[in-house]
Amino acid sequence: MVTPHGHVKHSAVQYVVGTIHRNTIEGFWSLFKRSIVGSFHKVSAKHLPLYVAEAQFRYNNRLNPDIFGEAIRGAKCRAVV
């Protein structure tokens, strides 16, 4: 499941466009900040895109009852020789 990209125009007193609204990005950043404080405690700039990618996956699959299975299906495994 991929969340669609969209925007709202606050200057035009617009806060919701279909399923796109301000709470979507606020919810994502809330999840991301909680993951840093609660799990990672500290992140490096070098690996920041990986932390954001994990938070994106968790947010996009927050209603998925089989999130672990989804992660396994998306993982690329390499055989150790």
pLDDT tens-place string over residues 48-76: 888 888 888 888 888 889 988 888 887 76
Q: Which of 41, 61, 39, 57 is nearest to 49 (CA)?
A: 57
pTM beyond 0.85, yes or no: no
User: Measured between alpha carbons, how far is 30 from 55 in angstroms, rounded to an integer?
Assistant: 10
User: Measured between alpha carbons, how far is 61 from 4 in angstroms, rounded to an integer?
Assistant: 13
Residue labelled with tokens 């969209």: 6
More confident residue, 59 or 13: 59
33-51 pLDDT, tens digit per residue, is 888 888 777 788 898 888 8
pLDDT of residue 2: 62
Handedness of CA 46, 68, 22, 5 (dihedral sign): positive
pLDDT higher than threshold 60 for residue 27: yes
**Mean per-residue pLDDT for 13-23?**
70
Alpha helix positions (H), the chain: 22-35, 48-60, 67-74
